[in-house]
Amino acid sequence: MADENDKYYVTTPIYYVNDKPHIGHLYTTIAADVLASYHRLRGEEVLFLTGTDENSQKNTEAAEKQGYEDIQAFLDMMAETWKKAFAEMKITNDDFIRTTEGRHRKGVEKFWAMVKETGDIYEGEYVGLYCTGCEAFLNESDLEDGKCVMHKKAPQELKEKNYFFRLSAYRERLLAYIDENPDFIQPLSRRNEVRSYVDKFMEDISISRDVGAVKVGIPVPGDDTQVIYVWFDALINYLTGVGFGTDDAKFDKWWPADLHIVGKDIIKFHCALWPAMLMSAGLPLPKRVFAHGFFTIDGDKMSKSLGNVIDPLDVARKYGRDPLRYFLLREITFGEDGDFSLKRLEERYNGELANDLGNLLHRTLSMTEKYLSGEVSAVADGSVQESWDRYDAAMQSADFSDALETVWGILRSSNKLIDDKKPWVLAKEGGDSELSEVMYVLLERLRHIAWMLKPFMPGVTDRMLEQLGVTESDKRKEYEDRKLWGGMIEGTSIAKGEPLFPRLEE
């Protein structure tokens, strides 16, 4: 295994391809991208995995609805749609796993054999309820008025001979693991929810479907009358994406994952079924699973019927990729529910981005150009180490709101410094020494702000560093060296450009 301190493996869920990505999918993916970028900034080797879950009835139904007779052709087309969307958003995933790939199938077959060897797979008859929307077997206790809580539809009544996984056999081990590893499931509210489920409700689960009932899926090894249940298959992507079943050296290097980011609706699969599967196969568990909340759109649940499904690419084309990334992680505390509003995006754009950040940079560069001939003055005393400590702690715990609030704390104190010291007055009255000190502090703080914003707004950071005249050698510095005060070199020429964030018209 590689030293855990110099590598970082983060995943998103793999997404159904029955439709194109909506804003909720991008929210999850951007969060993972920010963490991957942060750990790269620290000099760590990163593997960021995302992909598509293609062995799903939902995908089959979507293909048939669109007139596709060849299901695989539909899956190929939709997988490309997702890849292109992520590319347009400049998501920096290192790999894109598809569950119809040969490498995934090999890994699933190997995993099935390992679990079967332990005696945890047995044949039985499933009689019960199945929600196609959730791709999940439900109990009466999961329903409201006889309908799935999530999809507001009555589930199908099924009676099939299937293979089952002895999930209940892992109840005590799972409870002990959750208790002994308090950071395994985050946030705390989700941890409590999962613990209650494992303790009171978790039962053995059907892990196959009759081949006549589904049109896609990986056949059960040794029994071509059954295909593997989509969730048992899908979860294994976190292993096959790093070489399980195809590349032992790669797998030994990267597993276990440092973080799975998921939505709260699939937390039971990731924090009960998945760890039990891994325990059965004798494999290490992921270090952490973080479940984020849902968000409404202008106070209403996002739905096609309401016509309020947000296409993130449309938003990014209008407001910019970086402002969208910033807004999603600034507006909604990660792990909690929130609301997406274009009005609120515009308010944060004009207020925090244009006024606070963009205006501070432009004012500082303009004054450097006017009062110091466009060159960085001599190094003045200062420090932002406490801010870096808080920022790092927030990023390590995926507290994006606090990380960004730390940055805005520096911004606010810098704008206050300008208001208090009034560099234009110092220049007029001949306070050259104090003017030089004030301008250096402002420029150096902006350099630190730029690096802190790099994971969130990479394009904005690149423009800031260019305008500040930050040298290529500084950009190549080690993470800890970059955090030291005094990185702006005396005599460096700044390059004031256009404002970062042109104000939006009403």
Active site residues: 22, 25, 131, 134, 148, 151, 301, 304
| β-pair partners for 292 | 263
CA–CA distances in Å: residue 325 to residues 83, 91, 234, 298 = 18, 11, 27, 18
CA–CA distances in Å: residue 23 to residues 83, 89, 289, 311, 340 = 15, 12, 21, 6, 9
Q: Copy the structure tokens of residue 356.
A: 């606070």
Short-list 392, 380, 385, CA closest to 417: 380
CA–CA distances in Å: residue 345 to residues 197, 306, 315, 320, 471 = 37, 21, 10, 11, 33
State the SS3 of 27-61: HHHHHHHHHHHHHHHCCCEEEEEEEEECCCHHHHH
Contact 429, 422 (CB under 8 A): no
E-assigned strand segments in 331-479: 338-340
Which sign does the torsion angle of CA 423, 427, 431, 435 carry? positive
Short-list 225, 183, 179, 91, CA closest to 398: 183
Short-list 166, 131, 169, 167, CA closest to 150: 131
- Check residue 142 and report its DSSP letter: G
Pseudo-torsion of CA 430, 432, 435, 441, nearest 10°? 180
Amino acid of residue 53: D
98: CB partners within 8 A, 6+ apart: 51, 52, 54, 75, 79, 104
How many residues are there in the chain?
Answer: 506
CA atoms within 13 A on the CB side of 310: 23
